[in-house]
């Protein structure tokens, strides 16, 4: 199942998961050292809901940002 919003085309983004060890300088340590960087995916919060499209109810995959912004009208 594709994790893409049917309204705004929001999809997965990529980024880094940074692993550090040590104590921060402001907490009395000598600073944080990076010990590893791993690639990861940030997935959008996609929900499958029934929406009104041209007067008929259809099932669509929509992100919660579009639902909260009122870009879709839920079917009753």
For the chain, give every domain's residue range.
13-69
Task: At 51, give phi and psi (nearest 5°).
Answer: -125, 160
Q: Which residue bears the tokens 């009395």? A: 28
Q: pLDDT of the chain along its 76 residues, tens only?
A: 589 999 999 999 999 999 999 999 999 999 999 999 999 999 999 999 999 999 999 999 999 999 999 999 999 8
Q: How far is it, in rounded angstroms, from Cα 30 to Cα 20?
A: 13
72 is written with which tokens?
A: 């879709």
Q: How far is it, in rounded angstroms, from Cα 36 to Cα 21?
A: 10
13 is written with which tokens?
A: 């983004």
Rounded to two decimals, what is the model's pTM? 0.75
Q: How far is it, in rounded angstroms, from Cα 16 to Cα 61?
A: 27
């Amino acid at each position: 199942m594709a994790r893409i919003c049917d309204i705004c085309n929001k999809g997965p983004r990529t980024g880094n998961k940074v692993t550090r060890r040590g104590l921060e300088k402001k907490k009395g340590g000598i600073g944080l050292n990076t010990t590893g960087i791993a690639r990861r995916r940030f997935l959008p919060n996609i929900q499958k809901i029934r929406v009104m499209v041209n007067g008929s109810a259809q099932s669509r995959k929509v992100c919660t940002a579009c639902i909260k912004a009122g870009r879709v009208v839920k079917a009753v």
